[in-house]
Amino acid sequence: MARPIKDTPIIYGEDARRLTEAMENVVPISKERREKMKEAYEWFKSIATFPLP
């Protein structure tokens, strides 16, 4: 039987400020970076030995 999932703890102080700032100032990635990430994903998917959906 699985254990229940605990609630995510609430963050306070400096950690909360940094998280809020990071969420407000999202820097989009370049097309080149996105393509590299997609290529890496496809490569790992091709060598995976377990079933993928």
The string of pLDDT tens digits covering residues 11-44 is 999 999 999 999 999 999 999 999 999 999 999 9
CA angle 20, 12, 6 (to 5 degrees): 100
Residue 52 is predicted with a pLDDT of: 61
2: pLDDT strictly greater than 80: yes
Structure tokens at 23: 């969420």
CB half-sphere exposure, 43, CA atoms < 13 A: 6
Residue 51 scores a pLDDT above 80:
no
Q: What is the mean pLDDT of residues 2-11?
A: 92
